[in-house]
Structure 1
């Protein structure tokens, strides 16, 4: 059995798409996943599965949530090794040692085209810094994420791929949980 992390986009935000984590774990257990854990209410799921096709896992979880809760929720699945790579390759941590309270990673469904990343870089009129590494967009919100105009909807629209973002504290905790 391999370990995976599933990241849900847009649940339990502003009273929308409410899903209790215990109900989610129960629902996902019907998919024959094992050692299912969740972290906080924003849709972070660690589980084990014998399935090796991550797109199939994404589809299974997506359909399960739609059937069980009635919500269309985008799902991104990463293997334990992929999450470790995401964690270990943050240039704002490794190269610059920036304040981790201002660091986020947006996990993308696919690697965006370089011209779309250029569109995002050229569109911005904000002070945030972004570095794209494959399917990971590392963001340094220099003034804090709460005041930024750079939101996930803008990122998705400009890159033309789906994504979900996590702050660095959550990213670190999920790495610890995957390693336990």
Structure 2
């Protein structure tokens, strides 16, 4: 049985660094034996089908293929459509009444507990806010991520040491959930 997944690549095609053309990414995924390969935007989102049920192995395999082909390391997360739809459904903020740039999801390679963010006082950044979910963090930033002081604090390496994290705006979050629906 095939499962539909989204691959989320961290930090590619930003500021001219770690360039991964989406056509090459599609070719890599196809070469790894995956089917129905599509990409979304230029920021490292791919959708594909696989008979594997091991997201970590799929992510590691893709990361190795990117390293072998391009010569640099890219952190990859792979999540199935059921998970991506659950992230949309569990949103603790009123997503329907917000612009896509106001709401972001950071996907983590493992579950992150509140203790990792205990030093962050959300009230100090109001009206910005964040909530933890299943291997994810939801960030409400009414002026967008580029102007978010809370987003800047949450992105500092110390709270996430050893964990792969990559963020997407709400438009991309919902589009990937839609593209991976079986």
Q: Which residue of 1 aligns with 2:17?
A: 16
Distance 2:170 2:103 in 1: 5
Deviations 1:144-172 (A, max 9, x none): 21212323872543133221000001112
TM-score, normalised relative to structure 2: 0.89
Matched, 1:126 2:125: yes
Matched, 1:69 2:70: yes
The answer as to whether partners of 1:152 and 1:163 remain within 8 angstroms in 2 is no
Deviations 1:53-79 (A, max 9, x none): 111001101101000111210001111
Superposition map of 1:70-149 within 5 A: 70-93=71-94, 97-119=97-119, 121-122=120-121, 125-127=124-126, 128-149=128-149
Q: Which residue of 1 aligns with 2:40?
A: 39
- 2:25 is paired with a residue whose SS is helix
Give structure 1 stretches of 5+ with no counterpart.
Answer: none
Question: How many residues align structurally?
Answer: 178
Matched, 1:168 2:170: yes
The answer as to whether partners of 1:54 and 1:77 remain within 8 angstroms in 2 is yes
The answer as to whether partners of 1:3 and 1:79 remain within 8 angstroms in 2 is yes
The answer as to whether partners of 1:7 and 1:45 remain within 8 angstroms in 2 is yes
Shift of 1:100: 3.5
Distance 1:46 1:166 in 2: 15
Shift of 1:133: 1.0
The answer as to whether partners of 1:108 and 1:164 remain within 8 angstroms in 2 is yes
Distance 1:13 1:165 in 2: 13
Describe the shift of the 1:151–1:9 C-alpha distance in structure 2 as closer, same or farther (beyond 3 A): farther
TM-score, normalised relative to structure 1: 0.89
Shift of 1:122: 3.4
- The CA RMSD over aligned residues, in Å, is 2.1
Shift of 1:113: 3.0
The answer as to whether partners of 1:93 and 1:100 remain within 8 angstroms in 2 is no
Distance 2:108 2:130 in 1: 14
Runs of 4+ in 1 over 6 A off after TM superposition: none
